[in-house]
């Protein structure tokens, strides 16, 4: 498998100027190759997808939003094949580098977007998150990255995967830039940072590598000290986090198969083995399995409402380990992906916003702490990230957003 020098798609870069004088003027951004850019093929990480779909005539909503805000598009980025991947590799276009952990996987499927931001080749990059594809690369590459409330940001012009999971997010290297983009994407000023306490999910921390848990605990304690106190709790009963991950996987794979089945049956496209295998697995999921998974989802949503609707935020490791090395055999990749699913499934099942904070390091490699709020608390999470980043630096709030 090739290893490109950057996370950008090979070939000429497609660039577009931003609107003059906008709030994002002076910033550059990249777009994951699931987002339509007018006049540019959307390849989606698979040559047969690009070959069998028309060149878009309009920009995706999120691309247009950033352009209207004044940011300049500087290219499209590599994605895992039709967005089906969580560690960042692509059989056709290569695995983008992880500038924060050389020789390691960047996380996916928004791998290229995270890579170019971590390398300083763009200030901002658009990604998508269905099962963790913004949160995971943000953690492994040491970036701020948000999975927003499901349905909060338009997915128009996006190569969709799983409709009840798909979201549009973005990456930046710093909290101030992240806040500027959030104000544009959400269309409103960020609120004051506040929380009715911080819940530390001890069972989620216990599932992480001990070094990751130890690296993130001080950040969680600092978060609690600033925002209403820290309460140590267990998110689920013994074994429940793993159960939730399994049921989320059933729903997402069933939806992915339903999304891609008409194209697959018509075009018989070529896939890497791991992608073909996972799609075949999705095709075998029964209606009864989906019905059970939907019952579990409703139960988890009710649980999340009780925990978070009153304004508390939940914190847990974004990924249970730092970036794994390149070149691992598929069984080891599968095991790592299963572990990641345990920490990403709670927000995914419930449609909750989850923001990665790049606050930990293990062996010189980043590992992120996540904060999760109830639906619609996206801006509040971003404001909390700002206050946490700037605390103790003597910077006035009015200066923080510039």
Of the candidates 155, 134, 152, 135, which has an alpha carbon nearest to the alpha carbon of residue 62?
155
Using the 8-state DSSP alphabet, how is residue 54 labeled?
Answer: P
**136 touches 340 (CB < 8 A):** yes
Structure tokens at 250: 């059933």
pLDDT digits (tens, 9 = 90+) for 191-200: 999 999 999 9
List the strands of the sheet with 144-147, edge to edge.
Answer: 72-77, 28-32, 124-129, 167-172, 144-147, 354-362, 365-372, 313-317, 198-201, 230-233
What does the pLDDT read at residue 24? Answer: 98
Please report how the helices 330-350 and 240-267 are oriented relative to each other, as an axis angle in degrees rounded to 10: 100
Structure tokens at 363: 């062996």
Specify the DSSP element, H or E, that contains 378.
helix 378-390
**358 touches 313 (CB < 8 A):** no
- 117 vs 355: CA distance, rounded Å: 16
CA 64 to chain CA centroid, Å, is: 20
Hey, is 187 helix, strand or coil? coil
Of the candidates 120, 188, 101, 182, which has an alpha carbon nearest to the alpha carbon of residue 145?
182
What does the pLDDT read at residue 28? Answer: 98
What does the pLDDT read at residue 1? Answer: 52
Query: With a cut of 70, which residues of the chain have pLDDT below it?
Result: 1-2, 392-402
**113 touches 171 (CB < 8 A):** yes
* pTM for the model: 0.96
- Domains, the chain, in order of start with CATH, read 28-400 (3.90.1300.10)
| HSE value, Cβ hemisphere, 13 Å, CA-based, for 10 | 12
What does the pLDDT read at residue 395? Answer: 33
pLDDT digits (tens, 9 = 90+) for 329-353: 999 999 999 999 999 999 999 999 9
What does the pLDDT read at residue 391? Answer: 76
pLDDT digits (tens, 9 = 90+) for 14-66: 999 999 999 999 999 999 999 999 999 999 999 999 999 999 999 999 999 99
**CB-count exposure of residue 242 (10 Å: 0-12, 13-18, 19+):** middle
Of the candidates 144, 148, 136, which has an alpha carbon nearest to the alpha carbon of residue 62?
148
Rg (alpha carbons) of the chain, rounded to whole number: 20
Active-site positions read 32, 109, 133
What does the pLDDT read at residue 399? Answer: 41
């Amino acid at each position: 498998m090739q290893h490109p020098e950057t996370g950008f798609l090979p070939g000429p870069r497609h660039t577009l100027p931003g609107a003059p004088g906008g709030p994002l003027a002076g910033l550059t951004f990249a777009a994951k190759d699931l987002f339509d850019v007018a006049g540019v093929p959307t390849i989606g990480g698979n040559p047969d997808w690009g070959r069998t779909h028309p060149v878009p005539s309009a920009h995706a909503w999120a691309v247009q939003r950033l352009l209207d805000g004044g940011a300049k598009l500087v290219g499209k980025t590599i994605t895992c094949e039709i967005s089906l991947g969580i560690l960042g590799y692509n059989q056709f276009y290569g695995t983008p580098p992880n500038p924060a952990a050389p020789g390691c996987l960047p996380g996916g499927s928004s791998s290229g977007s995270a890579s170019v931001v971590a390398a300083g080749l763009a200030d901002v990059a658009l990604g998508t998150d269905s099962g963790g594809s913004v949160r995971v690369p943000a953690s492994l590459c040491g970036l701020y990255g948000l999975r927003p409330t499901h349905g909060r940001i338009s997915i128009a012009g996006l190569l969709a995967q799983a409709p009840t999971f798909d979201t549009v997010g973005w990456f930046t290297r710093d909290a101030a830039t992240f806040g500027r983009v959030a104000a544009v994407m959400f269309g409103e000023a960020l609120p004051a940072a506040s929380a009715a306490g911080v819940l530390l999910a001890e069972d989620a921390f216990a599932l992480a590598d001990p070094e990751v848990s130890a690296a993130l605990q001080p950040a969680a304690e600092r978060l609690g000290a600033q925002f209403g106190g820290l309460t140590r709790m267990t998110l689920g009963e013994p074994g429940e986090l793993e159960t939730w991950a399994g049921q989320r996987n059933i729903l997402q794979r069933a939806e992915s198969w339903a999304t891609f089945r008409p194209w697959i049956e018509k075009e018989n496209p070529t896939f890497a083995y791991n992608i073909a295998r996972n799609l075949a697995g999705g095709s075998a999921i029964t209606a009864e399995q989906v019905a059970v998974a939907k019952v579990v989802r409703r139960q988890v949503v009710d649980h999340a409402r009780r925990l978070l609707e009153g304004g508390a935020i939940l914190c847990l490791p974004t990924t249970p380990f730092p970036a794994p090395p390149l070149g691992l055999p598929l069984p080891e990749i599968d095991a790592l992906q299963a572990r990641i699913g345990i920490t990403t499934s709670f927000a995914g099942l419930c449609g909750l916003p989850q923001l990665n904070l790049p606050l930990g390091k293990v062996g010189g490699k980043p590992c992120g702490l996540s904060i999760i709020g109830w639906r619609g608390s996206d801006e509040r999470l971003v404001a909390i990230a700002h206050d946490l980043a700037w605390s103790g630096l003597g910077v006035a709030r009015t200066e923080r957003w510039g």
